[in-house]
Amino acid sequence: MPDALDATPYDALLLLSFGGPEGPDDVVPFLENVTRGRGIPKERLKEVGKHYFRFGGVSPINGQNRALLKALREDFDGHGLDLPVYWGNRNWAPYLTDTLREMAADGRRRILVLATSAYASYSGCRQYRENIAEALAALESEGLELPKVDKLRHYFNHPGFVEPMIDGVLRSLADLPEEVRDGAHLAFSTHSIPTAAADTSGPVEAHGEGGAYVEEHLEVARLIADAVRERTGVDHPWRLVYQSRSGAPHIPWLEPDICDHLEERHAAGVPAVVMAPIGFVSDHMEVLYDLDTEAVAKAGELGLPVRRSATVGDDPRFVAAVRELVLERAAAERGQGITPCVLGTLGASHNVCPVGCCPSRAPRPAAAGADSPYA
């Protein structure tokens, strides 16, 4: 039996995710949950509904989170880390508020949150913190004693997140026909967001052109591209591209779109492209539809060989990274500074989101940050 690991002061980990429909009847109510008050055109919603119906109305994201939950529990058990793991979502059952209520009933007092988003941004960070604040407010109105909730730092540059993606890109390259392999370009893809949201992502000092969102993705892309060059001896040109744009057409979002990029690469004579969805933690609908269906169809029209590389999912290295992140944060809370594990040059992201980090257009209370109304 290994020595027991210590997560004190934390008494639970909460996996916090997006949620997705689990059958055809769930699709419309799910999309209503996602888009409530967000100004998404009706046409776009109808279109996105079709993506889900194409897959029987089932998003793979919940199954992937169940697998991650199981892997985390097994990893913690196997390492003598006595920390229960719960799961709650923003947009579908199990809903965050219900999970937090259950955690409070189980007597959990100090909760650490792992969000299934590795980068800074309103959608990937503050919006989850707003969801935690809403859930805490609901518990408060029910007269329950509130647990203290913290959120893990952004893990985009943790080796347990980057290394499985390096292997994924290498596997995709190896899977391309030999005659186009060495000439292949790499397209690192992430969720497009409004440029205004990108520019104000991260702490105030990181605000500016693209903000922390673009900077962090460029770092991961560079880390993967460098490792691929080292391992193959081939310099594959790369670019950060975007997918899954929604919102009104007159509002600028990050570009280029992956499909436009494939067209442009093809026109430039590039013989093949590997699409690496570095913006996502698992192969959910944004990957299955926007890349594997739509972008692959575009490449087919062009006659451009493409491969899509793997996301981390429940890769054991990612699961171990979560354990390390928990132990790192717990030590920091106990005042025992341990050196955070990171690759590259940006350094470890903050443990506590500072005031002004990833602001929303309509300010709402957000928990688990320096501006939290909850202790």
> Which residues contribute to the annotated binding site?
59, 128, 191, 286
Tokens, residue 27: 């699709």
Q: Of the candidates 144, 154, 271, 278, which has an alpha carbon nearest to the alpha carbon of residue 220?
A: 278
Tell me if 12 sits within 8 A of 85, measured CB to CB: yes
Least distance to ligand HT9, CB of residue 193, Å? 5
If the CB atoms of residues 116 and 309 are measured against ligand HT9, the closer one turns out to be: 116
If the CB atoms of residues 27 and 173 are measured against ligand HT9, the closer one turns out to be: 27
The amino acid sitting at 205 is: E
If the CB atoms of residues 282 and 372 are measured against ligand HT9, the closer one turns out to be: 282
Tokens 């776009």 identify what position?
A: 44
Least distance to ligand HT9, CB of residue 106, Å? 26
- Residues belonging to the binding site for Fe(2+) are 191, 286
Widest pairwise Cα distance in the chain: 67
Element (H, E) at 240: strand 238-243
Residues that bind ligand HT9 (CB under 6 A): 18, 20, 31, 34-35, 38, 40, 44, 48, 59, 61, 116-117, 121, 123-124, 191, 193, 244, 246-247, 279, 284-286
Least distance to ligand HT9, CB of residue 220, Å? 13
Least distance to ligand HT9, CB of residue 34, Å? 5
Least distance to ligand HT9, CB of residue 89, Å? 10
Tokens, residue 141: 């109105």
- Residue 337 burial (C-beta neighbours within 10 Å; 0-12, 13-18, 19+): exposed
**CA 325 to chain CA mean position, Å:** 15
Least distance to ligand HT9, CB of residue 210, Å? 13
Tokens, residue 226: 């460098």
If the CB atoms of residues 83 and 115 are measured against ligand HT9, the closer one turns out to be: 115
* Distances, alpha carbon 125 to alpha carbons 22, 104, 197, 307, 369, in Å: 24, 23, 12, 29, 10
- Residues belonging to the binding site for Fe-coproporphyrin III are 59, 128
CA distance 42 to 150: 36
If the CB atoms of residues 59 and 189 are measured against ligand HT9, the closer one turns out to be: 59
Residue nearest to ligand HT9 (CB): 246
Q: What residues contact residue 148 under an 8 Å CB cut-off, 6+ apart? A: 109, 110, 111, 374, 375
Q: Cβ of 129: how many Cβ atoms within 10 Å? A: 26
If the CB atoms of residues 12 and 48 are measured against ligand HT9, the closer one turns out to be: 48
